[in-house]
Amino acid sequence: MVYRVIGLMSGSSLDGLDIAFVQLDDSGKKWSYQVVATECVPYSTEMETQLRNAENLSALEYAQLHVQYGKWVANAVNAFIEKNQLWHQVQLIASHGHTTFHQPHLGFTGQLGCGATIAALTGINTISDLRVMDIALGGQGAPIVPMGEKLLFAGYQSYLNIGGIANISYTQNDAFIAYDVCAANAVLNYVTGKLGLPYDDGGQLAASGTVNKVVLEQLNQLPYYTQPFPKSLANNFAREQVLPLLAAETSIENALATYVEHIAYKIFLALEPLSILTQSNLLVTGGGAFNTYLVQRISEMVLPLGITVHTPDADVVMYKEAVIMALLGLLRWREENTTLHSATGASRSSIGGAVWMGQMA
């Protein structure tokens, strides 16, 4: 059977709202997908600032932003539907929301973007709050993409997404292991922002710099890295723990070179358990996959492990998470598991997500 779903993703890099209209087919008891239309809707400076500072709001202001951002998302989806002439074709919207508070050790996570508001203003049934059930079951609520990787991207032994945060997943002893490795674009883009640039195009600035070994060692010794998985990072990790260390390096190029080396090394360590394989493939997606120098350093680091790095076409690189959100929303609609407890540490795999009816029965 073929389903037509819009998946929405807003990552910690705050570059905008990723929208993917996807056809999902479960014929032959095997999932396949076709990306029909995509768009990244950039945030205005005002919206970016509001999302970035959401954790500092009062409870009332936060609740207001939750609805306000839901309206913004709904308007973006309606414009996307109009632009691509998709009226009456979209059966479901799956919205990840924008993560603010993520405190699984305290039993909660927060994603801005009211699902009821999205459903009401689009007139389309909407799934939101995909992480909450997993956390209620004692899990990290993250990463939640492994279910999508397992069903849609078979053929790879490991998966790396480089967004604001870099996360890894792979199969080991028939269990799907996944966790956040380190902050990534959230740091790199902040550093390049000092030059008035949104990002380091192709990693050219980092490639021209020199690694600060003292700062690199300090980064490598951050307490998060000693924690066993499953584990996940909140968006404030970069701001509160990483950036103060990088501030010791006054050269922008050297700071970027140092942090690229840090990312590559931490990914190498994360993939070391796969070194027992004679040969394996790593699928790299997310905005960081366009950072040629970063991908080069990762490739060089993991080559001794027998791992070959692959980057797919641009649509998959940019919109893989939005595509997976579409699938997770559909699985929730079908009342099938959306999370893998081996990846999140929950007591069991679960069906996660709130359902909001945008259409009359």
Would you kindly state where each structural domain of the chain is located, as residue ranges? 2-141+321-356, 146-316
Peptide bond into 304 cis (omega under 30): no
Q: Contact 329/7 with Cβ under 8 angstroms?
A: yes
In total, the chain counts a number of residues equal to: 361
CA dihedral defined by 102, 242, 210, 201, rounded to 10 degrees? 40
CATH fourth-level superfamily of 146-316: ATPase, nucleotide binding domain (3.30.420.40)
- 118-133 pLDDT tens trace: 999 999 999 999 999 9
pTM: 0.86
Tell me, what's the pLDDT at 80? 98
Tell me, what's the pLDDT at 276? 60
Tell me, what's the pLDDT at 73? 98
| The two domains 2-141+321-356 and 146-316 share their CATH topology (first three levels equal) | yes
- 4-24 pLDDT tens trace: 999 999 987 788 999 999 999
Tell me, what's the pLDDT at 361? 60
Tell me, what's the pLDDT at 280? 85
As a CATH number, domain 2-141+321-356 is 3.30.420.40
User: Which parts of the chain sit beneath pLDDT 70?
Assistant: 276-278, 360-361
Judging by DSSP bridges, how do beta strands 354-356 and 165-172 pair with one another? Answer: unpaired
Tell me, what's the pLDDT at 277? 60
